[in-house]
Structure 1
C-alpha cells in the first residue's frame, strides 16, 4: 500500500512506527480533540500499530495510513478510514504531529486518500466529523470540498464534558468534478 504525493508517502504502518506514534499522540495539543488522552504510552502505541498492520484498506472496518515525510524519513501523522460494510461509504479522520501542522501536509495527505477512495475503490460518499471547536479540522475538510451537513449539539461526552460535533460529507461526483475542472477547484479551495 503506497500513495505518493508531491511531498509525502502514505503507507502501511510498520512496527518501528510505534515510538513516533506514541510521541505525537502524547502531545496535549494534538490529543485535545481526539478520543485518546495524553500521554499515549508506548505499549498502547505498539498495540495500535499491531492492529493497524493487520487491517485491510479494501475491507470493511478501520484502516490507518501512516503519513511519512520522506525528506526527513519521519512518521508525521496518520489518516484513518472507516470503510462501511457496503464498501461504498467511509468516514475519514486525521492526526498530524504539531511540528507539521499548518504547512498543508494534512490537506495533501487526506486529499490523496480521498482520491484513492473515489477513483480506485469507487466509493459514493466520504464523511468526516470533528469537535465544533476544532476550527483547523473543519477548515481542512471545507478546503477539500466537504459540505457541512450538520451541527450536533452536545453530542459527545469526552474528557469530562459534552461537546458539539460538526458533520461533513463529500460525494464522489463533487470530488471528481472539482478535479476535472482545476479552475473550479482553485476558486473553491484556494491554498
Structure 2
C-alpha cells in the first residue's frame, strides 16, 4: 500500500498524527464513562491514555493488521476533538473504520467529516475494496453516522461481545469501493 500523506484536510477539519501535546485532551474524554460506554474496557487511566497516545503517534501502516489513528482538529482551532481510525484487516483490500469524539465535538458533524476523509483515504489512496464499521447495537449515534456515510447494515450478531458486565449485540456496517465512488459523486 502507498504511504499515507499527512495531514489530511477537509472543509472544517485537520486529521493529523498524534503528538505528546494531545495527552491531556485525550485523557479528558477517554477517562469519561460516557466515552468508554461503547469501547472495549473501562474508562482509561492517565497511564493508559499515555500509552495509547504513544502508540497512535508512532503508527506504521505497511501490512495487514496495521492501523492508523489520526487526531481530529477543527481547522484554525488547534486542540484535539477526537480520533478516527483505519485498520487494515486480513484479506485482500479489507479495512475497518472507527471514531471517538470528545463531548464538546459531538453533534457538529465532525465524526462524519473525519470518517468520510478516512474512507476516501482507504478507497482512493490505499486501494481498499471494502471498509466496515463494527459497533454496539445500542450506539445509535454511530449507527446514524454509518448511514450518513452510505454504509449498509450487513450483519447483526446477537450477544457477540461480553463487556462491561453484559452481553452486547454487534452491528456490522460496510461499504464497497464501487459504492463509495458512486456515492461520492452525488
TM-score of the superposed pair, with normalisation by structure 1? 0.90
Q: CA deviation at 1:54?
A: 2.0
Q: Name 1:111's counterpart in structure 2.
A: 116
Alignment of 1:127-138 (within 5 A): 127-138=132-143
Q: Secondary structure at the match of 1:153?
A: strand
1:23 pairs with one of 10, 13, 28: 28
RMSD in angstroms over aligned alpha carbons? 1.3
Residue 81 (structure 1) aligned with residue 86 (structure 2): yes
Residue 59 of structure 1, CA deviation: 3.5
SS of the aligned residue for 2:60 comes to: coil
Residue among 49, 52, 55 paired with 2:53: 49
- Alignment-derived partner of residue 68 in structure 2: 63
The equivalent of 1:173 in structure 2 is 178
SS in 1 for 2:63: coil
1:90-105 correspondence to structure 2 within 5 Å: 90-105=95-110
Unaligned runs of 5+ residues in structure 1 are 183-191
Structure 1 counterpart of 2:3: none
Of 76-85 and 168-177, the range deviating more from structure 2? 76-85
Deviates more, 1:20-29 or 1:49-58: 49-58
In structure 2, what is the equivalent of residue 154 of structure 1?
159
Q: Determine if contact 1:58/1:121 at 8 Å carries over to the other structure.
A: no
**In 2, Cα distance between equivalents of 1:69 and 1:45:** 21
- Counterpart Cα distance in 1 of 2:179 and 2:24: 38
Q: Which runs of 4+ in 1 moved over 3 A?
A: none
Partner SS state of residue 73, structure 1: strand
Q: Which ranges in structure 2 are unaligned for 5 or more consecutive residues?
A: 1-5
Q: Distance in 1 between matches of 2:114 and 2:61?
A: 15
Between Structure 1 and Structure 2, how many residues are aligned?
180
Partner of residue 32, structure 1: 37
TM-score (norm: length of structure 2)? 0.92
